[in-house]
Amino acid sequence: MVTVSGVPRYALVTLLMVGLAGVYGQRSPQAAGEPLLAGKVVAAGGQALAGVPVRAHRENSTIAVNVYTDSRGEYSFPGWSALSPGSHSVTVELPDFERATQDATLAAGKTTRVDFTLRSRQPTLPDATAAEIVAGLPGTDEQKHLVIQCDNCHSLQFALRTGRTKDEWIQIIRRMAGERAVSRETPGTRAFGQKKYVEPLAEYLASIRGPGAADPLPFRLRPRPTGDTASMLVVTEYGIPRAGHRDLNILRGDRRFAWPHDILLDSKSPYAYYTDHFTFTLGRLDRRTGEVKEFPYTLLSGMGREEGGAIAAAQRRAGNPGGGAHDIAWDPDGNVIIGMGGGTVRFNPRTQEFTPWAAGSNMFGIDPTGRVWFLDKGLHALDMKTGDVKHYDVPPGTDDDTYDMETDAGGRSIMNLWRLGKMGVFDPQTGQFSAYQVPTPGSGPRRGELDARGRAWVTLYWAGRIAMFDPDTREIREYPIIPGHQPYTPPFPSPYSLAVDDRHQIVWTNDFNTGRIYRLDARTGASTEFLMPEPYEIRDLTVDDTADRPTVWIPVYRPPAKMVKVEMAN
């Protein structure tokens, strides 16, 4: 994460997103009693519908609360949730049923019942996720695994809407992957952007979407999780400025909208901070009231790489306009540190001032002394007290091979070498760099986090797994996020990020291709799948260590962007 410093000349843009949202910051007077809202959801034939999200949105508010029906089709909003008395719209929206909405006025001291009878409907292509589209396509698992990667920058509905010849698909693939990537062989990864996959992928795309292809894309909806455990969630959504709207033709990076990348919780205040991937803006959400403020910051020369990085490498792909920030973390002094290409930025929450350094990277680690460790043609440590940058030798290309990194209590940098399928460790005390093979080849170690014991938990993006790496014992264990799932097979789960809850021994992760999230028991490896109220695109998850119950926060990346709190109901 990188922080940019500024002076009072940086204007503060304040956007009040509250309306009547302040009432959601108060715990309901029914916290120990009956729920404010409850009901039952059934199909037209009378059968109970399980695992159905029910959303309650208070009038003139930017906050919505969601719960799920149990195996009997019943739902209720716990008294401790953010639901409060007042006028609400209560909605059920699923791809295989007609949307249903009812208005309800909730009163303190009593339970209002809102029941739904849903009429089935035929799902359409806009309802489908990437995993559901790929499930309906002909072809081998290898071919489908390559195609599903297209959803990183745009929807598959957009990518496959036009038929092309093999040569035309080759040009598209080369542009999307970048000329540098497609000229290299990187056998440690299953990423489509390498030399050996260009022609086979183009041949497959031409076979399913050749010139003049006009047939509707096939798809198969995945079943909802319906077990009672899967329904024990309360999901609270907070609107943010520039949230945008759902549009399958929006390309990643459209600067009319916010693209929240990472989120950081303040345990000493009600605030949560988030980075915007494509503008130099730090967002701050008041978790009690829903109020959001945006703090724009300016950069030093060489920071941000508006025309650098992947763009300079001829990677002029859809959804890569440059600019903006990624990682975000606390330093030992309670400042917010923000990371971006070529720079680090520090935000002081007390003075609301920024300080920038033209040294840093999108992903970084902070050691106990407050130094920022990052990769950029070598490994470097930025001392934010003096501005000095110290350089360390690591194998050539380590920055290209690494997706994310963390720095542990001993100052070691632990790197997720996703192009190599390895975990890397650099110890500044000895100057030694070591790399350790992840058991599943080509699995793509992507984003991760250290637990309280200093072990690195990391997503294996291509293989549908997460791994635990102990840098002291060099042990690596893998856990499928879907029980019994074999790597590189349907439904092609792609866990992008994760968060470790040390208190409850839980690891939370997500599937990029469906918007679902998973709770993994860190002791047993048992996994539970949860459907989100919408198919969120997720690039970060953060545990709330101060919450009364297991709680994880999610910045929803693709419009409509929002901040989301997920709490276990039991």
| Domains annotated on the chain, with CATH | 1-17+243-361 (2.40.128), 19-118 (2.60.40.1120), 125-208 (no CATH)
Instruction: Tell me the C-alpha to C-alpha distance, in Å, between residue 409 and each of 215, 264, 301.
Output: 56, 20, 32
Hey, CA dihedral for 563, 546, 67, 97, is it positive or negative?
Answer: positive
* Separation of alpha carbons 38 and 116, rounded Å: 11
Count other Cβ atoms within 10 Å, centred on residue 457: 23
Strand partners, 338: 328, 345
- Please give the angle made by the CA atoms of 438, 440 and 445, to the nearest 5 degrees: 55
Token pair 């130094």 is at which residue? Answer: 371
Token pair 């698909």 is at which residue? Answer: 169
Mean pLDDT of the chain: 91
Helix (H, G, I), strand (E, B) or coil at 399: helix
- Residue 227's pLDDT band, with cuts at 50, 70 and 90, is confident
* Position with higher pLDDT, 529 vs 216: 529
pLDDT at residue 255 tops 60: yes
* Position with higher pLDDT, 20 vs 115: 115
pLDDT at residue 181 tops 90: no
* Separation of alpha carbons 480 and 525, rounded Å: 8
Residue type, 377: K
What φ, ψ does residue 168 adopt, rounded to 5°? -65, -40
- What's the whole-number mean pLDDT along residues 410-424? 97
pLDDT at residue 355 tops 80: yes
SS (H, E, C) 306-371: CCCHHHHCCCCCCCCCCCCCCCEEECCCCCEEEEECCEEEEEECCCCEEEEECCCCCCEEECCCCC
* Separation of alpha carbons 551 and 81, rounded Å: 12
Helix (H, G, I), strand (E, B) or coil at 157: helix
Q: What letter would DSSP give residue 28?
A: P
Give DSSP secondary structure letters for 439-451. Answer: SSTTB-EEEEEE-
> Tens digit of pLDDT for each residue in 41-54?
999 999 999 999 99
Residue 88 tokens read as 């609400």
Instruction: Give the H or E element holding residue 166.
Output: helix 166-177
> SS3 breakdown of the chain: % helix, strand, coil, rounded to 5?
15, 35, 55
**Is the backbone of residue 515 left (phi > 0), alpha (psi -120 to 50) or beta?**
left
For residues 368 and 409, is the Cβ–Cβ distance under 8 A?
yes
Any alpha helices (H) in 459-556, and if so which ranges? none
CA 128 to chain centre: 19
* Separation of alpha carbons 414 and 1, rounded Å: 15
| Selection from 497, 517, 365 nearest residue 444 by Cα | 497
Query: Is there a cis peptide before residue 483, judged by omega within 30 degrees of 0?
Result: no
* Separation of alpha carbons 105 and 5, rounded Å: 47
- Residue 37's pLDDT band, with cuts at 50, 70 and 90, is very high
pLDDT at residue 211 tops 80: yes
What φ, ψ does residue 147 adopt, rounded to 5°? -65, -40
For residues 552 and 540, is the Cβ–Cβ distance under 8 A?
no
Hey, CA dihedral for 358, 360, 362, 365, is it positive or negative?
Answer: negative
SS (H, E, C) 124-136: CHHHCCHHHHHHH
> Tens digit of pLDDT for each residue in 130-179?
999 999 999 999 999 999 999 998 999 999 999 999 999 999 999 888 88
**CB within 8 A of 93, min separation 6: which ones?**
53, 55, 99, 100
pLDDT at residue 242 tops 70: yes
> Tens digit of pLDDT for each residue in 463-488?
999 999 999 999 999 999 999 999 99
Helix (H, G, I), strand (E, B) or coil at 153: coil
For residues 134 and 148, is the Cβ–Cβ distance under 8 A?
yes
Percent of residues, the chain, with pLDDT higher than 90: 85
> Tens digit of pLDDT for each residue in 271-307?
999 999 999 999 999 999 999 999 999 999 999 866 4
- What is the reported pLDDT for 306? 62
- What is the reported pLDDT for 318? 59
Residue type, 331: D
pLDDT at residue 22 tops 90: no
> Tens digit of pLDDT for each residue in 498-513?
999 999 999 999 999 9
Give DSSP secondary structure letters for 39-95. Answer: EEEEETTS-B--S-EEEEEETTBSEEEEEE--TTSEEE--TTSS--SEEEEEEEEET
**CB within 8 A of 152, min separation 6: which ones?**
252, 319, 512
For residues 37 and 83, is the Cβ–Cβ distance under 8 A?
yes
Give DSSP secondary structure letters for 531-570. Answer: --SS---BS--EE-TTSSS-EEEEEE-SSSPEEEEEEE--
**CB within 8 A of 382, min separation 6: which ones?**
344, 357, 359, 360, 371, 372, 373, 374, 388, 389
- What is the reported pLDDT for 10? 30
pLDDT at residue 442 tops 90: yes
SS (H, E, C) 176-233: HHCHHHHCCCCCCECCCCCHHHHHHHHHHHHHHCCCCCCCCCCCCCCCCCCCCHHHCE
pLDDT at residue 4 tops 70: no
| Selection from 446, 443, 426 nearest residue 435 by Cα | 426
